[in-house]
Chain A
Amino acid sequence: MAYEPPVTDYDEIVENCTCAFCGCNCDDLDYLVKDGHVVGVRHACRLGASKIMEDMDQRLMVPMIRDETGELQEVDWDTALDKAAELIAGAIRPIFYGWSETSIETMKHGIRLGELVGAVLDNQATICHGPSLQAVQNAGYPIATLGEVKNRADMIVYTGSNPMNSHPRHLGRYSTFPRGWFRQRGRFDRTLITMDPKYSDTAKMSDIWIGFEQNGDYGFYNAIRAALKGKKIDQDYVSGIPKEDIMELAEAMKNVQFGALYFGLGLTHTLSKQRNIDMAIEMLTDLNEYTKWVLTPMRGHFNVNGFNIFMAFEMGFPYGVDFCRGYQRYMNGETNTIDLLTRKECDVFMVIAADPGAHYPGGAVKHLAEIPVIQVDIHWGPSTEIADVVLPGSFVGVEAAGTSYRMDGVPIYMKKAIDKPETCRDDEWIMRELLERVQKIKDQEAAVASK
């Protein structure tokens, strides 16, 4: 890469901002601001910096509605909001999907709107860590904060996860490299293990790489559990790993002082889904007979955990909450977005701060092409190509303040650094407006019906 000189041309520095990208929620960023724009970011990784210094070409600036020719047409806020409210009020089985890249304050209005119209509220967990949440319900949740891991852990395991690509500062800020209270020499006091069929960028810098076979996770954890319980392993190889190595690894994991296991989508996206994680948690239960082990899912978006915690607190269920019967219901494989879409049940789809066009499998997107889609987002993305009403929101953590939850469940208040573009509105404002407008339509309907 070519050398780029440091940015020196800026008006002010806004300190201690929180990164709005991944579940690490790094809260030590400094933004260099010039003329109301962020022109440089200090301390962020490549991912965080690229999101904060966004591509203004594709920033959604004005509300838009599709006209008869199938082209998006700029309209004023009132028209766009009324149109969206009309679609939502008239829907029989609406889904409100997304929420992971906006604030808890926005979700508050979203839940009320969902209850009012009997919608399904779901977030990105449904396509990433949903199985992890199910496994936690099955087998328990031995979690620790990232700070505890930084200060205590002497063995770090990443399994089915590649933080060097998806959470680049996780190793540097929380788990492996920093010096902690009981780990004064930082990296030298810790053993780093990566378990992944792929020789990933994280595996390349680990002390130990365990490249078990594709879909071999389940068998491998079971073999470790057998070794921990002092059982004999009959096969010479389990999931492609020699049995002597499994025994050696189990012994090593038993003899640490504090171990931390982080797992990612490698476990949830393969065939055994939540059973993989069940087994990983059980493995930890076994390890905890000898020493202290904790685990944390590597959550992707900065507030994906927030939605799950907020929903579980408010409604009792973490995601895929269905209000169609007037009370909240949650049923895996039944009230989740992908299943509802492939069964072609949904008739109006609202996406808030998410991109189903970029992340859903084609089979699910095909149904989105048949129904009206309302998009609340900050950038023109694949979902805009299939959206019928577009409402431009604001960038939480940069242009709007809000609360988010880190991957380990620590709430962090993200402050506002610059003003949003004049024609955009806060997500919170948009949700509140939609709620009020839908309420008005419902009240009118009720008045007519009672006559």
Chain B
Amino acid sequence: MTYIEKPVVPKVVKLEEPAAKERKILNMMLNTGSDIYQGACKKRGSTLKDEYRKVCGVAYMDPRDMAKLGVTNWDTVKVTTDWGEVAVSSVHSRDAPHEGTIFIPKGPWANVITSHETYCCCDPTYKGIYCTVEKTDEPVLLMADLMRAVYKKYVDDEETIPELKSLGEMPVYKKK
């Protein structure tokens, strides 16, 4: 069969390469879903840790798209959809080539920008969402900080959120 050839992709595409043209902002398609690193970290319970941010707060990108945007591994990009925007780290995808598509493992970061639209079928649309990707200086937040910044359940004054102290990587509660 002709369509089964295994694709090859160079590890790093440099900007000087003729095919790559630098751009400020890319129009892409976003897919989310589970991934073995995300699954292992989530179910072990280590969701507050930096480790969780490293496996879920990332956008797996095609190296060619990364070259166009001028980002390398662990640079920060902002992904925007109709439903929100979030800062995540850009990393090389293991499954490249998939130019024009990014993959964010399911988790609090992906949730901010996925669609809750179920079209009366009970299931939200987690895959195939149009998005834009651009370089940013905003930090990638830890899980607890992200939940506070996005959903603001227990903050009185929303203006102060950027100045609040980070909730850190350990559970915070008052002991008896």
Contacts and interface: CB of A to CB of B under 8 A. Distances in A.
Do A and B actually bind? Answer: yes
Interface of A: 21, 46-47, 50-51, 53-55, 57-59, 62, 64, 66-67, 70-75, 126-128, 130-131, 134, 162, 164-166, 168, 197-201, 204, 207-211, 214-215, 241-242, 244-245, 248-249, 265-266, 268-271, 273-274, 300, 320, 332-334, 336, 338-339, 342, 355, 357-366, 368-369, 378-382, 384-386
Nearest to B115: A361
Interface string B87-123: 0000000111110010100111001111110111111
Interface in B45-98: 45-49, 83-84, 94-98
Contact of B44 (A55, A71, A386): A55
B111 A59 contact: no
B171 A58 contact: yes
Nearest to B173: A72
Interface of chain B: mostly helix, strand, loop or mixed = loop
Contacts, number: 235
B43 A245 contact: no
A362 B150 contact: yes
A233 B72 CA distance: 44
Nearest to A196: B95
B39 A358 contact: no
Contact of A382 (B33, B127, B147): B147
Nearest to A320: B122
A342 B122 CA distance: 11
A386 B151 contact: yes
A362 B112 contact: yes
Given A166-B34, A333-B118, A386-B151, A46 B40 contact: yes
Contacts of A197: 98, 101
Contact of A128 (B6, B7, B123, B151): B123
Interface string B142-154: 0110011011111
B50 to A, nearest CB: 13
B34 A336 contact: no
Contact of B41 (A50, A204, A355, A386): A50
A47 B40 contact: yes
Contacts of A359: 106, 111
A215 B116 contact: no
